[in-house]
Chains A and B, each alone.
Chain A
Amino acid sequence: MTELVATTPGLYPLPDWAKGELSDLKGHQKGDLITGDEGPEIVDVYDRARAEVVDAQVGAGLDRVVEGQPRWDDVLAHPLTIHENVETGGIVRYYDNNNFYRDPQVQGELTPSGDVAAELAAVDVDADALQAVLPGPYSLADLATDDHYGDEADFLDAVADFLAGEVEAFPGHETLFLLEPSLVESPPGDDTNERASDAIDRVAAATDADVVVHTYWGAVPEKTYAYLMDADVEAIGFDFVTETEDALYNINEYGTKDQVALGLVDGQNTLVESPETIRDRVEWVDERTHTDFERAYVTSNTELYYLPVNKFEEKLQALGDAAALAEVDA
């Protein structure tokens, strides 16, 4: 019997009051975005925003609780944009979205910063419910500009080592989601597939927690997927909102891990899926795959910051209710 675990990939919308307070405290220009050494007034707003989204997840009955990444102004590029050896360049488009982040231009060695560890330490839940979230090494390298390492392979390795260093500083956590949309949006070439998988391995090796490599905005190309299966992680995540056939093909052709993450709730549309719809989608995937999953993380396909707060909260509730509903049914 598959254990259903309700969770999300993190990166939540700020509560509306925090949007207003932070606009006033920080400003609207690119020079006003997060630096990593923000003053007490700004820290206080983030503390309250974090507490609110943690409460929302607990209230919705999610099985894993994320920090919500309220400070990640630069979305998945955040761990680099606040780094002391990284300069921020112009505003660039975040994948195919009407969203933008500051181009992180790596100027020196990527030493561990402890920034994300400090955020996790501030989350008031037990370690067995805490889920850490990071960009996967391939995506983070893809989002950045290297002005220091000089070689694509060296840079990817450096980003992986940097992320592994961040993970080593994490407080106790049950699950680590590594978000890897670039594996879909700008997949590695033939000569990089193995390196991308190895890079994920390096980060995963830094924790005893279950590691989920979550992919979205479509399916990973099959060759990349085959290499990804070599990575020593507990689960791969699939986006069944954007695309179903290629995801199913990868699973049935190349197999998948004993655990799986199912992106079944649309992180980029305000239409709220009912718990019954989510449960039906779990069954739909189950019927079309030949694997008996030990555990399925039931999640949104993408980050959730695209949504207005009311719909975001409704989606959390639907995910929590769907997992509970399925347990009763089972």
Chain B
Amino acid sequence: MSEHNREQFRPDDHPNDHFLLTSIVGSYPKPKWLNRVSDLADDPDSKFTEEHLHEAHDDACRVIVDEHERTGLDTVSDGEMRRNEMVEFFADRIDGYEFNGPVKVWGHNYFDKPSVVDDVAYGESWLVDEFEFTNAAASKPVKVPITGPYTLASWSFNEAYDDDADLSYALADLVNEEVEALVEAGARYIQIDEPALATTPDDHAIVGECLDRIVAGIPDEVRIGLHVCYGDYSRIYPELLEYPIDEFDVELCNGDYEQIDVFTDPEFTTDLALGVVDVHTTDVESVEEIKANIREGFKIVPPERLTVSPDCGVKLLPREVARQKIENMVTATREIEAELDAGEIDLGPEVSAD
């Protein structure tokens, strides 16, 4: 099913026969002014209201969508301008959660870890408004990242369910409801983010069951990706091939592709979304470096099953560095496609473009 749902993202004016889908993982640096006005909106003495903040979010979304489009990306997003943190944002919208205060992650870095105190339920929509606004602002297809149920469960205090698996399944049903609403609104590219799986890889079957629930009733033309980062992929491979997804999105640039061999045996049977720029260094990779990184992907999948993306969300980078990385990534991808068209890239005996 993945082949036909990938082709819908090929731009009408795509210059090459080959098409490597370019994408982002999710977050993008917020403009400084947005952080400033968010603080202002929190300040009771300020005249800057929630309505003003909403307007500022709208403006920021337009700016980032435009920035994505100018880099030439095939699929874009709003860079998660309205989201504060990947668990808090959703917990705030799901019935059954409460917040008690910050807890330590490391040093003086804290996270408002929420508690599940009652059965979770779908109250207000999480992302439909965000998607509709972004979709209207964009001329390219919009990708929607959603924090996955396993991560939403693992990074919360569980007061209400017998174990985290039960909580994950209950949350997966809600994610399914949200994905249905997004599809109804026109979304065709959804990415489930499960970073918690990297820390507890033995729970891969729980994530599998969650994904089964998430995609239940979702039409085939909707592309479903799964993003897992910063872990030992050999602990979840080849089990992840059983997942009902179109694409598995990996962070491998950070580790200089040391783990690439993990995915070669047994054969990788889903599409690969390969991280080709490192999001934890401000050095901007050259087009040539990125082209070499993209070619690493051909060790696993043929070009028609390769998606090109950054390792992870780029929000911690300075904005101009993030933009340059994405721009070089797109340039490198288009050059690789042209070289493939010209037959200049030897894909080796195992992976054929035909």
Contacts and interface: CB of A to CB of B under 8 A. Distances in A.
Do chains A and B interact in one complex?
yes
A269 B116 CA distance: 10
Main secondary structure of the interface of A (DSSP, over half): loop
Which of B108, B110, B199 neighbours the largest number of chain A CB atoms within 10 Å of its CB?
Answer: B108
Given A27-B108, A96-B199, A269 B103 contact: no
B105 A308 contact: no
Interface stretch (B54-62, B151-159, B298-306, B331-339): B151-159
Contacts of B104: 13-14, 99, 305-306
Contacts of B107: 26, 28-30, 32-33, 73
A19 B108 CA distance: 7
Contacts of B196: 98
Interface residues of A, number: 32
B155 A98 contact: yes
A177 interface: no
A99 B100 contact: no
A45 B107 CA distance: 15
A216 to B, nearest CB: 17
Contacts of A14: 104
B219 interface: no
Interface in A284-330: 305-311
A32 B107 CA distance: 8
A33 B106 CA distance: 10
A271 B117 CA distance: 8
B101 interface: yes
A98 B199 contact: yes
A265 B155 CA distance: 20
B195 to A, nearest CB: 10
Contacts of B46: none
Nearest to A16: B101
Interface in B103-156: 103-110, 113, 115, 154-155
A270 interface: yes
A238 interface: no
B11 interface: no
A275 B290 CA distance: 60
Given A269-B159, A270-B115, A101 B106 contact: yes
Contacts of B100: 270, 308, 310-311
Interface residues of B, number: 21
Interface in A149-205: none
A267 to B, nearest CB: 11
Interface in B70-124: 100-110, 113, 115
Contact of A91 (B103, B106, B108): B106
B105 A271 contact: no
Contact of A100 (B105, B113, B154, B159): B105
B281 interface: no
A93 interface: yes
Nearest to A306: B103
Contacts, number: 64
Nearest to B199: A98
Contacts of B113: 308
B142 to A, nearest CB: 30
A19 B106 CA distance: 12
A19 B111 CA distance: 11
A191 to B, nearest CB: 27
A241 to B, nearest CB: 13
A11 to B, nearest CB: 10
Interface string A70-106: 0001000000000000000001010010111100000
B35 interface: no
B282 interface: no
A257 to B, nearest CB: 32
A93 B199 contact: yes
Nearest to B159: A271
B259 interface: no
Which of B101, B115, B158 neighbours the largest number of chain A CB atoms within 10 Å of its CB?
Answer: B101
A325 to B, nearest CB: 23
A38 to B, nearest CB: 13
A308 B101 contact: yes
A244 interface: no
A27 B103 CA distance: 16
B200 interface: yes
A98 B105 contact: yes
Interface in A1-43: 13-14, 16, 19, 22-23, 26-30, 32-33
A98 B198 CA distance: 11
Nearest to B157: A270
Contacts of A269: 157-159
A270 B104 CA distance: 14
A99 B200 contact: no
A23 B104 CA distance: 12
Given A28-B107, A101-B106, A308-B113, 20 more contacts: A13-B104, A16-B102, A22-B108, A28-B109, A73-B108, A96-B199, A98-B105, A98-B155, A99-B106, A100-B106, A269-B158, A270-B100, A270-B157, A270-B159, A271-B115, A271-B157, A307-B103, A308-B103, A309-B101, A310-B100
- 7 nearest interchain CB pairs? A308-B101, A100-B106, A308-B100, A271-B159, A270-B157, A23-B108, A270-B115
24 contacts: A13-B103, A13-B104, A16-B101, A19-B102, A19-B110, A26-B107, A26-B108, A27-B108, A28-B107, A32-B107, A32-B108, A98-B105, A98-B154, A98-B199, A101-B106, A269-B159, A270-B115, A271-B157, A305-B103, A306-B104, A307-B103, A308-B100, A308-B101, A310-B101
Interface of B: 100-110, 113, 115, 154-155, 157-159, 196, 199-200
